[in-house]
Structure 1
């Protein structure tokens, strides 16, 4: 959120500075660990309709945002495949019922396509013979988050944005509006903002990255799992992101043996070629989450604006949250927040536009 906002504000001619607690690689942020899937219908099973509408908005907005950047970004919109093993049939049926229910709530979502063994082989030949049933969710997408973060850094530098790495800041370090200070502070620190937004909590997630030259998947594949949604997101050059556990905890410690075994066992059952994959990384991060699991914008005072609570949907909903924030800054109000049911808290009467 911080880099996207900095880019848009710099392009509008504002003088922008970015303060980041860690490095340019975003090594302290959930943004680096995430799989960056853009899957509103798939996520509709576990979130609210407003978040789903934000995800649909993001699918059309992301290509516009990527086109502004100075480097190649992997972006794919080949849909999502959901598969399951026979013993998980009951869970799969419940999941598909949720998809259908959410399509009735939001008819603009594409219709899921039920697939038998032959249909699965046609959609994803690499999985031939491994599953007898599945569903295909057309139109869903993904991008490469690490390429995006690097491209944003490069483009911000070209635009003259001052980037301060390894420079943690609190909102209280600034007195916006006074001499030598910024006119406005925008706080996008995720869990780093808990000193000012105490309702934030962490939802721990563990993710594995592997290099598997023997495997070709054409789209993100989700495996129905009794404990949490598991996904395999294929990136360029046979890199795959596998995740993600979801644990009510802000523990940033190393991944547990149980979680890694579950992720890797599921990976192998999807495609035997993963047996020879090389593990590149086992990463842990915590998603910044508000009590209702929904994002929000909040005026801390008339010159400090906070954007937070993107939870597990960061890349899916960040274009919508970006444009909501820009509307607030430009006019003091936002039609998009109403459209997407995003809370805008405690806006002072004299908030600076």
Structure 2
């Protein structure tokens, strides 16, 4: 196991910038950027966010933040299949943090907390013919999960128990409950974070062309000075931006990993929690959303192609979903969407800290899963108070 990389250079705050009410500039208004802006503003800092998008609203063309496309699964146990135990432990912390964020937003007049985040566990499913593949996955989960005593173990379900939990599922599936996992309602959460931070100055349609400690430069030549700069741009951090003090090639080695999802509308079909099908070739998940909607995904393709979803992906994803929820045969396809996830060569997140500059990037397929814990750690290391509090 290795922890996500965290590098520093003379960690501390710039001269005269200690204490509350700092002037903070954030590059990027995706999951990390919006959560950081809301959290820092809640703590009394003066926050300005720069992003090339035209506004905070959800978009479904695959050109906006990857967080809008993602299903928002909070599945640290299931991710142990392909990710390190360090990733799972960060994810486990993030579930509690997302709960706090959702409750705070609801208390401040936002949407009810269940419309922002739910925590009812998730299910791992397998067809009888795929039990060999399923058992290998479960063995890996058991071995990695043993490294962290606080994380629960998968619980095998009888057919009767599965029917009680999820009557819509195909009755002959083998199933395991992953207690404590959940989901963020990604479009609702992103829009609410922006909408309930009126004290933040949102500079939409502005592209950051360069940044350095305490300085952001914009595409029209404007120079914006701050006590702290947070670079949370994902793939937008690539390019000619100076990277003073960064490990050689760290951010410049970012790549985009294509993901594809299908949105379905199925009135009368009830699924109470996310499910993930263990399959020899695919990792297929089906996530319920309010309004009889379901998010089905997700392919993981080593490509930076932003073109529409391919026929092959759509057919394979929808066939897998129909095999576990037969009633989806009459579901209507709302839309198909692709987007790019920012990833580094080892698929691990990277945090860089130096006086006046914090960078977090490379969250790969774990953006929603890792964002609160990574941000909490980074802000704490920088000495920046936030609504996320101190790591425990």
TM superposition score category, shorter chain reference: 0.7 to 0.9
Residues 308-332 of structure 1: per-residue CA shift (max 9 Å, x gap): 1111111111110110121122179
| Counterpart residue number, 2:179 | 138
| Counterpart residue number, 1:50 | 86
Contact between 1:212 and 1:274, CA under 8 Å: does it hold in 2? yes
Question: Does 2:371 align with 1:318?
Answer: yes
Which of 16, 27, 33 is 2:47 aligned to?
16
**Alpha carbons of 1:279 and 1:177: their partners in 2 closer, same or farther (altered >3 Å)?**
closer
Shift of 1:152: 0.8
Cα separation, 1, equivalents of 2:44 and 2:196: 14
**1:156-195 alignment to 2 at 5 Å?**
156-157=197-198, 160-172=199-211, 176=215, 181-195=225-239
Which of 51, 54, 57 is 1:25 aligned to?
57
Residues 27-82 of structure 1: per-residue CA shift (max 9 Å, x gap): 41111000111111111111111111111101211121122324213321111111
List runs of 5+ in structure 2 lacking aligned partners.
Answer: 1-31, 218-222, 242-250
Cα separation, 1, equivalents of 2:177 and 2:94: 20
Shift of 1:280: 1.4
Contact between 2:85 and 2:145, CA under 8 Å: does it hold in 1? no
Question: Does 2:276 align with 1:218?
Answer: no
**1:154-303 alignment to 2 at 5 Å?**
154-157=195-198, 160-172=199-211, 176=215, 181-195=225-239, 196=241, 197-299=251-353, 302-303=355-356
**Alpha carbons of 1:116 and 1:177: their partners in 2 closer, same or farther (altered >3 Å)?**
closer
Give the 3-state SS of the residue equivalent to 2:291 in structure 1: helix
Cα separation, 1, equivalents of 2:317 and 2:224: 51
Q: TM-score, normalised by structure 2?
A: 0.79
**1:63-78 alignment to 2 at 5 Å?**
63-69=99-105, 70-72=109-111, 73-78=115-120
Shift of 1:129: 2.2
Question: Does 2:33 align with 1:2?
Answer: yes
Contact between 1:171 and 1:185, CA under 8 Å: does it hold in 2? no
Cα separation, 2, equivalents of 1:177 and 1:76: 37
Cα separation, 1, equivalents of 2:129 and 2:224: 64
Deviates more, 1:33-42 or 1:171-180: 171-180
| Counterpart residue number, 1:347 | none
RMSD of aligned alpha carbons:
2.2
| Counterpart residue number, 2:24 | none
Give the 3-state SS of the residue equivalent to 2:156 in structure 1: strand
Shift of 1:174: 9.1
Question: Does 2:357 align with 1:304?
Answer: yes
**Alpha carbons of 1:110 and 1:280: their partners in 2 closer, same or farther (altered >3 Å)?**
same
Shift of 1:95: 0.9
**Alpha carbons of 1:210 and 1:177: their partners in 2 closer, same or farther (altered >3 Å)?**
closer
Cα separation, 2, equivalents of 1:227 and 1:19: 40
Give the 3-state SS of the residue equivalent to 1:150 in structure 2: helix
Contact between 2:170 and 2:324, CA under 8 Å: does it hold in 1? no
Give the 3-state SS of the residue equivalent to 1:237 in structure 2: coil
